[in-house]
Amino acid sequence: MTTMFEPEAIEQHGWRQGAVLGEALMRVAREHAPTGISVADGDWLIVTSHDCDVVNSRLDKEPVVEVLRAEVVARKAPDKQEAWGRNPRVIQIAVEEGSTSVVLSCRVHERWTIPREVLSAEAPVRVLDDKLRRSIAEWLAKRYIRAAFPTAFDGRWRASLRDWTRLLAQHSRSVQGVYLRLSTLAELEPETPYKCHLIVAVPASLRTEAGWAAKRDQIDREIEEFWKQFEPAIECVGVEVLGTDELTLAEIEPYQRFDADWVSFTDDTVATPLGTDMAT
């Protein structure tokens, strides 16, 4: 397909992150697919580049867009182990199609770039809703910026991971993000405890609801009780439950967005900050 670059046409067609390629552009994408990736007729190819890059007026600045292959799978609902970004390599999402839903499965390595000018030729066949496209973007981003903790620390609590995710799932409406700070990111000997502090971010709107004080205390108590069980190997020195309107970037900068807070995607989430340890 030979297409002139027309930035106005790209914008008018409605191309953006989460847009799905039509049949003609699927053929173009197949030609650019890396060796080993096969695109079937029933697959969806989803644009994952940022909106600003997709519609940029300069082709020399943004010559390509990235697409992600999504396979339609025979399921009524996504696999819980691969939903909402829980698995770093595979994600399953449900897309509403009229009165039914289609379950898509995406693999993190099955993405590549196509020339951006080809988007001038036609409009997308559909665009994923904001919640789904955001969850895919966060899932991809977390591959590079997800929290990394010492192996020695993980070994002291990871056997209870199911209990942790279950606890967060119980409060998924309230919990918008969980941030953890360790006393050190070094590998400690078994006799030396890790000290941790947690910040639980909740939507600002919850703080005005009736019964919020009791709910805040419940979240605080249950999370602290969970981490207290690992003493003396891990010492929980505190939990703070704060509204997003009470938090600043400076406050959460020394913390890492904590693994397994994927459950918050079922409601909402915020960006993932970089982390440092308590020693800095």
201 and 233 fall within a common domain: yes
Q: Which residues pair with 105 in a beta bridge?
A: 71, 92
Whether 2 is covered by a domain: the verdict is no
136 and 159 fall within a common domain: no
184 and 88 fall within a common domain: no
86 and 100 fall within a common domain: yes
Q: Which residue has the higher pLDDT, 2 or 66?
A: 66
Whether 272 is covered by a domain: the verdict is no
> Among the three residues 145, 169, 193, which one is the final residue of a domain in this structure?
145
141 and 219 fall within a common domain: no
> Among the three residues 102, 128, 145, which one is the final residue of a domain in this structure?
145
29 and 138 fall within a common domain: yes
Whether 71 is covered by a domain: the verdict is yes
* Cα–Cα dist 44/63, whole Å: 22
The CA–CA distances, whole Å, from 257 to 50, 130, 162, 177, 215 equal: 22, 22, 18, 7, 22
- Host domain of residue 254: 151-266
Phi, psi of 263 (to 5 degrees): -60, -25
162 and 90 fall within a common domain: no
Whether 274 is covered by a domain: the verdict is no
Q: Which pLDDT tens digit goes with each residue over 41-59? A: 999 999 999 999 999 999 9
Q: Which pLDDT tens digit goes with each residue over 80-116? A: 888 877 788 999 999 998 788 999 999 999 999 999 9
118 and 19 fall within a common domain: yes
* Cα–Cα dist 71/81, whole Å: 17
83 and 157 fall within a common domain: no
Q: Which residues pair with 141 in a beta bridge?
A: none
User: Count of domains in the chain?
Assistant: 2
Mean pLDDT score of the chain: 88
